[in-house]
Chain A
Amino acid sequence: MIDILLAILNISFLQAIVNMSTPLLLAAIGDIYSERAGVLNIGLEGMMLIGAFSSFVISYHFNNPYMALIVTIIIGFGLGIFHAFFTVTLKADQVITALGENILALGLTSTLYRIIIGVTEIQPECPGLPVLYIPVINRIPVVGDIMSGSNILVYIAFLMPIITYIIFEYTSFGLSIKAVGENPKAADSLGINVNVIRYIAVIISGIFAALGGASLTIGGLKYFFDNMTAGRGFIAFAAVIFGRYTPLGVFVGTLLFGVSDAFQLRLQTLGIQLPYHIFTSIPYIVTLLVMIFSRQTSFSPKALGKAYVRSS
Chain B
Amino acid sequence: MLRSAKKLTIFLVIIMVIITMVLSMTSCKSKMQTSTGLGGNTGSKEKVYKVAILLPGSVNDGGWSASAYEGLVKIEKELGCKTAFTENVKKNDQVQIMREYAKKGFDIIIGHGFEFSDALKQVSQEYPNIKFVGIGTMVTGPNLASLQFKYGELGYLTGFIAAKSTHTNKIGIITATKDPTGQIEFDTLEAIAKQVNPNVAVAISYTGSWEDIYKAKEAAIAQIGNGADVIITNNDAGNLGVIQAAKEKGVFVIGWTGDYYKHAPDNVLTSAVQKVSLLIFEGVKGFLEKGFEGKVYQLGLKEGVQYIGEYGNTVLQELKDEVKKITKDIIEGKINIEEIYKVKK
Contact = CB atoms under 8 A, between A and B. Distances in A.
Instruction: Answer yes or no: are A and B bound together in one complex.
Output: yes
Interface of A: 7, 10, 12-13, 16, 19-20, 23, 86, 89-92, 100, 103-104, 107-108, 110-111, 113-114, 118-123, 216, 220-223, 225-228, 230, 261-262, 265-266, 268-271, 275-277, 279-280, 311
Contact of B172 (A113, A119, A269, A276): A269
B204 interface: yes
Contacts, number: 143
Nearest to A149: B248
Nearest to B236: A225
Contacts of B217: 220-221
Nearest to A17: B218
Given A221-B244, A266-B225, A230 B27 contact: no
B213 A223 contact: yes
Contacts of B263: 122-123
Contacts of A222: 244
B205 A268 contact: yes
B88 A226 contact: yes
A270 B204 CA distance: 9
Contact of B221 (A12, A23, A123, A268): A12
Nearest to A12: B225
A270 to B, nearest CB: 7
Interface stretch (B9-17, B154-162, B269-277, B329-337): B9-17
5 contacts: A100-B17, A221-B213, A268-B206, A277-B208, A279-B206
Contacts of A13: 225
A192 B26 CA distance: 45
A104 B19 CA distance: 8
Contact of A270 (B59, B178, B215, B226): B226
Interface string B162-176: 000000000010000
A276 B219 CA distance: 13
Contacts of B143: none
A280 B207 contact: yes
Contact of B60 (A20, A86, A119, A220): A119
A230 B207 CA distance: 12
Contact of B203 (A120, A226, A268, A280): A268
A110 B28 contact: yes
User: Which 6 A/B pairs are nearest by Cβ-Cβ distance?
Assistant: A107-B23, A276-B206, A269-B226, A280-B208, A230-B212, A265-B222
B30 interface: no
A46 B269 CA distance: 37
Interface in B193-249: 201-209, 211-215, 217-219, 221-223, 225-226, 228, 237, 240-241, 244
Contacts of A262: 218, 222
Interface residues of B, number: 54
A269 B206 contact: no
Contacts of B20: 100, 103-104, 107
A108 B204 contact: no
Contacts of A16: 218, 221-222
Contact of A108 (B23, B207, B226): B23
Contacts of B205: 265, 268-269
B24 interface: yes
B182 to A, nearest CB: 12
Given A221-B213, A265-B215, 14 more contacts: A13-B225, A20-B218, A23-B214, A91-B5, A104-B23, A107-B28, A110-B88, A113-B60, A221-B240, A221-B244, A228-B214, A268-B206, A269-B172, A280-B206
B66 interface: yes
A104 B22 CA distance: 10
B5 A7 contact: no
Contacts of B19: 104
A223 B240 contact: yes
B343 interface: no
A108 B19 CA distance: 9
Interface string B41-83: 0000000000000000111111000100000000000000000
B8 interface: yes
B104 interface: no
B345 interface: no
B9 A90 contact: yes
A188 to B, nearest CB: 17
B73 to A, nearest CB: 11
Nearest to A281: B208
A261 B218 CA distance: 9
A220 B245 CA distance: 11
B235 to A, nearest CB: 12
